[in-house]
Structure 1
């Protein structure tokens, strides 16, 4: 079979792997097509590094395997992009910050290694919000620059995994890895019209789904996790099944689903976002999903007592530990902070180094976080819920602010609010509770911008959440390619 460029670009991860394993598509041809796409769309600034020679050589090795050998590789010849704060061999891991520019880790992060062992090919490293401390991916470091949304290059792609999301939405790669601390896989997934998973973290030990110790430039060991991102829920489930070793997944039956609609998460939305989300609810209800209104009135007040106390305290020891474990040339967190390029990130690290929230940390961890987790557990149990459902973000993508890296936004003419707060509001509580969250497309606004819906589930329910996502995706449909 002869594949056109357009046919190759429209392949999902599952479709590409199937074609390469069967010998109907050469991995080298596919990789060459995607490299050309990446170079043609360099204006999106989705990548900090592209491994042209290495990716092509890896693809040729896949093509040289026999049919049976390729069939044993769950990701045979699949090109992926890896966020620039996740350790990789050969390609630098800079976290989008000048102090780490050019640093190359000795080995892949475990999550990356599992993908490579299964036949995946690392096409490149994805641009991101500097040090993952933001939700716009407006990176002002000289070697990085702002990531642009494929649906409108003048708008943000979300963050901090904005480069991964932009590359996937733009059909440069079918899937890849991001990281999520407060919403960093889910927010860019929503704003770019793709799918992003935040896996369970729970207690950080046996409840942690992905284990990548000292393999990701950190913010918070309590909140950080690697997360797969892709064009479809099936693509994300494919990567998750490889990383966890759990393999393929069956779709959930919608007629048995009880999904909660938490009132606080549905309040204060941009009208255009709410219209798309409500229309999606109508489709789900018509398909047989039982939608259950729930209150959770204390959710944001509890979350506020947890969020910044952790995010502004844990980076001191966590980042220092990563620098030491990886034997980087940079000696201290202060050395990293001294060279931060983006004003919003610099301000955050001024607060971190001063440990402005250190006095609140122990209470947040021993009192408020357990209460937040208890509220989620009680809500799921008391209402017999499989998941909670709500708009991933309160509003669609806003224009890039090149000067400040972060700014205020107004929702339908309301008083301006902090951009970070506006986009994090609905994603942050699940992060602090350690529960899994899955963002998937709900549709497009009349202005042609993507809107995402998020499914949150109990700790450890990741497989169930993905199975529900597969069912919802069939009902709601995938988005078309952006007109770039």
Structure 2
């Protein structure tokens, strides 16, 4: 229990906001057994105590405390509280906030204040949520390690501060794992909510994107620094699946997902996504399979022929071409007209991101883009649709990443890794191998902690479902979490 938490009547044992679920804290604040100010004070103290994680870029201390005090005054006056009053969140710093800077972790935008707030975030704040901080990220979200070599500094993994937290939403995931908040927002293009969730022992959701329009679960067009309008989405992360489901329900204004039984639920195990795992990940994943079988799930061995070959014709062809139009459109819509694609690129500090932007500016993948969108992406979507239908599975189950967290590369931001002592392979490609295909197909994906490996590092298991199955996926995620158990918190 956090020293100094003030009870305002009722129970003398309020929940500890450093470890409790979002719903438990909300209930206590609304009942008056925990003051919002005490909650804010405890979280701010934790943020300052763990400042060396570099998980945050901007701490919204004064405004968060003022908002918390107003909640307590309103409750004491008998005024009705908003449903998320008392919930403190962190928001990835590429998501627009009109009342505080949105830097995308890059020098050219340091101090930039957009004219808009992203719609998904506004739904949360309109419901009473308080933004405690803007979270650090891989520079411009163009990477999977969150080793940001700009002013924002490299984000560290709370389980081992010499290792990556994953990316690009590494700051959000690290802040949740470190107890600074119970939940927050990230973004996902090829794995950027799910990879850091897996490496930091938290939960991350990539909501449905599909082909856009009504298939897109969250709509934040031109309110988030973009990579790809085809692939990008805001996504919630949380301490538990229920924390993520709470944010999702408010953002989508739909009922919150509830736990389901795993008895008889058919989950597909695509062979391609289970191949080549690091042995320390494989052992945790195999144990997870046994627990799910014991809980009644039917695990179906299957494959998706041509999955990686098809995905390889889409990934960079889309993500390194669409920024040419998407970034200028974002700057214009956000009122950040003093900057341009060229000025942002010229100031990039991280070598790996410099390389990506060089390819974008040269439009290396421009000639291949039409086929990627019009031929290969529809084929990938058909491969998934056939896999779900022919194997009669509700979702696909696989380890989120091949490796647990690897040591940081402080020279390039992202270099190479070795799997099972093999030759060096590209860090970025290795970590997104399992998450990227579903992203390109527009599927929803949910990463849930499965346990710690022999080195004490978290391992995540992912569920991917058909487009539009987000609510069912979250219900299955709640059941998965119940079967696998919570992972121990890091020793900070």
User: TM-score normalised by the shorter chain: which range applies?
Assistant: over 0.9
Match of 2:168 among 160, 163, 177: 160
User: 2:379 aligned with 1:371, yes or no?
Assistant: yes
Distance in 1, matches of 2:338 and 2:452, equals: 44
Match of 1:45 among 54, 77, 84: 54
Match of 2:254 in 1: 246
Q: SS of 1:197's equivalent?
A: strand
Distance in 2, matches of 1:213 and 1:437, equals: 20
User: 2:195 aligned with 1:187, yes or no?
Assistant: yes
- Aligned-residue Cα RMSD (Å) equals 1.4
User: 2:64 aligned with 1:55, yes or no?
Assistant: yes
Distance in 2, matches of 1:208 and 1:220, equals: 14
Distance in 2, matches of 1:192 and 1:356, equals: 34
Structure 1 unaligned residues grouped into runs of 5+: none
Structure 2 unaligned residues grouped into runs of 5+: 1-5
Alignment check: 8 A CA contact 1:22 1:71 kept: no
| C-alpha displacement of 1:401 | 1.1
Match of 1:272 in 2: 280
Distance in 1, matches of 2:109 and 2:264, equals: 49
Match of 2:22 in 1: 13
Distance in 2, matches of 1:376 and 1:61, equals: 49
Match of 1:421 among 426, 429, 449: 429
Match of 1:283 among 274, 291, 313: 291
Match of 2:120 in 1: 111
Task: Give matches, 1:349-428, under 5 Å.
Answer: 349-428=357-436
User: 2:344 aligned with 1:344, yes or no?
Assistant: no
Task: Give matches, 1:205-244, under 5 Å.
Answer: 205-244=213-252
Distance in 1, matches of 2:202 and 2:299, equals: 23
Deviations 1:286-317 (A, max 9, x none): 11000001111310101000101001100010
User: 2:137 aligned with 1:128, yes or no?
Assistant: yes
| C-alpha displacement of 1:71 | 6.2
Match of 1:448 among 456, 461, 483: 456
Deviates more, 1:471-480 or 1:126-135: 471-480
TM-score (normalised: structure 2): 0.96
Distance in 2, matches of 1:216 and 1:69, equals: 37
Distance in 1, matches of 2:297 and 2:407, equals: 35
Q: Structure 2 vs 1, CA of residues 383 and 335 (structure 1 numbering), >3 Å: closer, same or farther? A: same
Deviations 1:379-408 (A, max 9, x none): 111111110000000000000111110111
Match of 1:198 in 2: 206
Alignment check: 8 A CA contact 1:324 1:331 kept: no
Match of 2:332 in 1: 324
User: 2:341 aligned with 1:333, yes or no?
Assistant: yes
Match of 2:42 in 1: 33
Distance in 1, matches of 2:459 and 2:109, equals: 34
Q: SS of 2:269's equivalent?
A: strand
Q: SS of 1:206's equivalent?
A: helix
Match of 1:64 in 2: 73
| C-alpha displacement of 1:205 | 0.8
Aligned residues: 483
Deviates more, 1:10-19 or 1:360-369: 10-19
Task: Give matches, 1:73-84, under 5 Å.
Answer: 73-84=82-93
Distance in 2, matches of 1:116 and 1:331, equals: 28
| C-alpha displacement of 1:89 | 2.2
Deviations 1:140-191 (A, max 9, x none): 00x2010000000000000000000000000011100000000000000000
| C-alpha displacement of 1:439 | 0.3
Match of 1:22 among 26, 31, 35: 31
Alignment check: 8 A CA contact 2:438 2:464 kept: yes
Match of 1:102 in 2: 111
Task: Give matches, 1:455-474, under 5 Å.
Answer: 455-474=463-482
Match of 1:90 in 2: 99
